[in-house]
Structure 1
Amino acid sequence: MSFNDLPDICLWKIFENVHEAKDLIRWSQVCSRWSDLIRPRFKRVKYLRLIDNAVDYIDANSLWINPKTNWNYNLFKLFPNIKIINSAAFDYHGSFNLPEIVKNNPQIKGLVGMDNLSKDGYMENIEMCSAEFDFHYKKVFRPYQLKQVCCFRFRKADLPSFIEYFPNLKRLSIENDEGSYLPDGVFYNGPNLSSLKILEFGTTHFAQVFTGFHFMDFCPSLESAFFQCLAEDIYLDESIKNYNLRDLVIECHSDCFSWATLRRLLSKFPYLHHLRIMCIGVIKYSNLEELVKLLPELKILDLRGYNGVTHKTADFLSKYCVKENRSIVIYYDCENEPAEWPKLVETDEPICYGFDFMKHCFYKTFDSLPVLIDE
C-alpha cells in the first residue's frame, strides 16, 4: 500500500504527530488532499513565540520560531489566526518592520516585547502589550487603545499620565525594580482605573514604604489582585472598601506584615472569596478564627509555603465550618499532599488563554505570572 492509499484518518494522525514547522509546511504543499488535512492545524496557531537553539516547531496553539531561522514563507498567510507575537522573533532580521507587520495583519492584537521600536505610524490593532515602556508610547498607540499592559521597569513618575492615556485597561501588571514605584512619601494621585479587573503589582528591591494597596484604592471595579512586596512598611487606608474583589494573593519577602496589618488590609474586602498568603510570621493558630470571621464569603484559603500551618489548623477550620455552616477549603504544607489539590506552579507560561485569574495566576509566584492573558 502506498502512502497516498492510506485513509484520511491515518494521514491526519501522522500529520498531527509531526511538530517540526518546515516539514509540515512542505507537506502541505504536496497536494490539495494533504493541504486540507494539515491547514486546520495551522489555523489553530494563535501565538508566535520565541525559542533559542532549537528548530521551529508547532504545538497545540503556538508557532515557536528560532530568530536565526531564514524564513522563505509568509508566516501570516500560512498561519492566518496568529493573534499575539513576540517581536524579538523579528529582531535578528533587519528587513522586518514591526509596525508594517501589524498594519498588514489586523488579526494581531498582542505584542510581547518592543525593543528598538521606532515610530512608523500607529499600531492600530494592538490591544495587549508586554514591554519595557522606554519608548514614546503616545507615538505608537492611540488614546484608549490598550486594554492589557505588562510593564517592566516602568518610570514611576509616568504612571498617572500613562493611565490617563489608557483608561480602558482591564489588566495591569507592574514590576518595578526601583523599590516603591513612587518616591517615599509621595502617593499616586491620578485618574481612577474604572475598567481594571486584574492588578498585579510587584517590587524587586527593598522599599521604605509599599504603596501598592494605596494604588489599588483607585481601582473600584477590581476583582483580582496579586501583590509582591519587599518593604519596611506598608501604607493602608482601611476606610476605602472594595466590594468587588474576589481573589487576593499576597507574596511578602520581608517582615513588614504583622497580623494587625493583615487584619486591617482584609477588612477592606468584605466579599473576598479566595485568599492566598505567602508571608513571614503573619498568621498564628489563634488568629485563624478571626480571619475567617472577617471574610464571611471566603471559599479558599491557601497557606502553602507558610510555616506553622498544619493539619491541626485544618482540623480546627473544618470544625468551625461545621459549627457555622460554612464551606472553606484550606491548603497547607503537608508531606502527602492530596492529588485533588491544585498544584502550585512556578514554570513560566508567558501567554495564557482565557481571562481567568484563578486558573492562570492564583497558584503561581509573582515571577511566574503570564505576561499576557488572551481573552
Structure 2
Amino acid sequence: MSFTDLPDNCLWKIFENVNGVIDLIQFSKVCSRWSDLIRLRFNRVKYCIENKVDYIDENSLWINHNTNWNDYNLFELFPNLKIIDIAVLLETASLLDIVRNNPRIKGLIAVWDYIDDDYILTNIEMIAAACEFDYEAVFYNGPNLSSLKILELGTSYFVEQFTGFHFMDFCPSLESAFFQCWAEDIYVNESIKNYNLRDLVIDNIHSGSFLWPLLKKLVSKFPNLHHLAIRNFDKLDDSKFHLDELIKLLPKLKLLDLRRFEKVTHKSADFLSKYCVKKNRSIVIYYDCENEPAEWPKLVNTRETICYGFDFMKHCFYKKFSSLPNLIDE
C-alpha cells in the first residue's frame, strides 16, 4: 500500500510522530492533502523558542539560530504564534517588522537592547528580557503597579542595600513573590501591608542582617500568607528561628518550606505538629532531615522556558531562582 492509499487518520498519525520541522515543511509541499493534515499540527504551535536542534512538539517550535530560515515564512506557516524568542528570528527580519506585521504575538523573550521603539509594544502583554536593575540604595518612586500578580527579583552581584522589598510595596495586588539577593543590608518597611500575597519564596539570601528581627518585620507585612519558603540560609537555628512567633504572625499559613535551612531540625517540626493539634490548624513543614518522606516535593532543578497555566505554586515555588521560567502563559 502506498502513502496515497492511506486514509487521512493514518497519515495524520504519521505526521504527528514526525518532530523534524524542516521535514514537515517539506512534506506539506507534496500535495494539498498532506498540507491540510500538517497544517492542523502547525496551527497548534504557540511558542517559538531557541534550541540547539530544530524540532516541533505539541505546542512549541524549537529552532537553532544558526539555521537559515530566510526561505521560510514562519509566521505564515505557524499563524498562531503567541510568544517568540526574538534572538532566533532577527536574522530574517527586524523586531519592528516581526511585531508590527503579526498582531497575534503577545509575548517576547528578548535582549533588552533590541526593544528601543515604544510603539512596537502596543499588543505585547509579556516580556522576558535580560537587563540590569540597580537595587542598591535605589528606592522606586513610580506609580503603583496595580495589575501585577507575580514578582520575581534577584541580584547577580553583592549590593550594600537591597531595596527589592520596597519595590514590592508598590504592587498592591501582588499574590506571589520570589526573592534572591546578596546584600549587606535589606530594607523593609513593616508599616505597609499586602493582604493579597499568598506565596512567598526567600531563596539563598546572603545578608548579615537577615536574622529573626528582620524576618519578623518582613513576614508581618503579609498577614494572609499561605505558603512561605525560606531556603539556603544558615544564620538561624531551632532556638533562634522563633517558629512560635512566626506562625502567630501568619494565621493562614498552610505550608512552611525550610529545606536547605541547615540548622532547623526535627525539633521545629515536632513543635509545629503539637501546635497544630492544640490550635486545630494544619501546617505542612518541609526541612532537611535524614529520613525525608518520599512524598515530599523536591526542589526542581530543571528549567522550562515557558510554562503553561498561571500557577505559581506549580511552576515556581519549589524551584531555584535560576530555574524559574521566563514566562507563564495564562
Same fold (TM over 0.5): yes
Q: 1:66 aligns with which of 57, 64, 74?
A: 64
> 1:115 Cα shift?
5.9
Specify the SS of the correspondent of 1:331. Answer: strand
Separation of aligned partners in 2, 1:335 and 1:45: 45
- Code of the residue aligned with 2:108 in structure 1: it is L
1:287-340 Cα offsets, whole Å, 9 max, x none, are 222211221100111111111233443333222212211111112224454443
Question: Which residue of 2 is the match for residue 20 of structure 1?
Answer: 20
Q: 1:131 aligns with which of 129, 132, 137?
A: 129
> 1:357 Cα shift?
1.6
Where do 1:117-156 residues align within 5 Å? Answer: 117=114, 122-123=119-120, 124-132=122-130, 152-154=131-133, 156=134
Question: Which residue of 1 is the match for residue 269 of structure 2?
Answer: 314
Separation of aligned partners in 2, 1:10 and 1:289: 63
1:137-179 Cα offsets, whole Å, 9 max, x none, are xxxxxxxxxxxxxxx213x4xxxxxxxxxxxxxxxxxxxxxxx
Question: Which residue of 1 is the match for residue 87 of structure 2?
Answer: 88
Question: Which residue of 1 is the match for residue 225 of structure 2?
Answer: 272
**Structure-2 change in CA distance of 1:33 and 1:343 (3 Å):** farther
- Code of the residue aligned with 1:340 in structure 2: it is E
Question: Which residue of 1 is the match for residue 106 of structure 2?
Answer: 109
Separation of aligned partners in 1, 2:329 and 2:174: 18
8 Å CA contact retained: 1:99, 1:121: no
Separation of aligned partners in 2, 1:305 and 1:202: 18
The structure 1 segments of at least 4 consecutive aligned residues displaced by more than 6 Å after TM superposition are: none
Is 1:294 equivalent to 2:249 in the alignment?
Answer: yes
Q: 2:190 aligns with which of 238, 241, 252?
A: 238
- Code of the residue aligned with 1:348 in structure 2: it is R
Question: Which residue of 2 is the match for residue 260 of structure 1?
Answer: 213
> 1:81 Cα shift?
0.8
Separation of aligned partners in 1, 2:28 and 2:3: 15
Separation of aligned partners in 2, 1:266 and 1:89: 42
Percent pairwise identity? 69
Separation of aligned partners in 1, 2:263 and 2:117: 56
1:201-258 Cα offsets, whole Å, 9 max, x none, are 2112211112111221222221111111211112222111111111101121233310
Q: Comparing 249-258 with 6-15, which one deviates more in the overlay?
A: 6-15
Question: Which residue of 2 is the match for residue 325 of structure 1?
Answer: 280
Unmatched 5+ stretches in structure 1:
133-151, 157-180
8 Å CA contact retained: 1:88, 1:115: no
1:82-120 Cα offsets, whole Å, 9 max, x none, are 1111111023x3x52221121111101111114663867
Unmatched 5+ stretches in structure 2:
none
Is 1:195 equivalent to 2:194 in the alignment?
Answer: no
8 Å CA contact retained: 1:258, 1:281: yes
1:37-89 Cα offsets, whole Å, 9 max, x none, are 3222211211111123x3x1002221111112122221111111111111110
8 Å CA contact retained: 2:28, 2:34: yes
Separation of aligned partners in 1, 2:292 and 2:141: 45
- Code of the residue aligned with 1:81 in structure 2: it is N
- Code of the residue aligned with 1:90 in structure 2: it is L
8 Å CA contact retained: 1:352, 1:374: yes
Q: 1:221 aligns with which of 170, 173, 176?
A: 173
Q: Comparing 219-228 with 351-360, which one deviates more in the overlay?
A: 351-360
**Structure-2 change in CA distance of 1:76 and 1:309 (3 Å):** same
TM-score (norm: length of structure 1): 0.80
Q: 1:250 aligns with which of 202, 218, 221?
A: 202
Specify the SS of the correspondent of 2:119. Answer: coil
Question: Which residue of 1 is the match for residue 11 of structure 2?
Answer: 11
8 Å CA contact retained: 1:226, 1:250: yes
Specify the SS of the correspondent of 2:114. Answer: coil
**Structure-2 change in CA distance of 1:121 and 1:316 (3 Å):** closer
8 Å CA contact retained: 1:113, 1:130: yes
8 Å CA contact retained: 2:234, 2:263: no
8 Å CA contact retained: 1:257, 1:282: no
**Structure-2 change in CA distance of 1:295 and 1:29 (3 Å):** same
8 Å CA contact retained: 2:145, 2:172: yes
- Code of the residue aligned with 1:112 in structure 2: it is I
- Code of the residue aligned with 2:145 in structure 1: it is L
- Code of the residue aligned with 2:10 in structure 1: it is C
Where do 1:360-371 residues align within 5 Å? Answer: 360-371=315-326
Count the aligned residue pairs: 325
Question: Which residue of 1 is the match for residue 235 of structure 2?
Answer: 281
> 1:283 Cα shift?
4.8
Specify the SS of the correspondent of 1:275. Answer: strand
Question: Which residue of 2 is the match for residue 211 of structure 1?
Answer: 163
Is 1:78 equivalent to 2:32 in the alignment?
Answer: no
Specify the SS of the correspondent of 1:122. Answer: helix
8 Å CA contact retained: 2:238, 2:267: no
TM-score (norm: length of structure 2): 0.90
Specify the SS of the correspondent of 2:30. Answer: coil
8 Å CA contact retained: 2:265, 2:287: yes
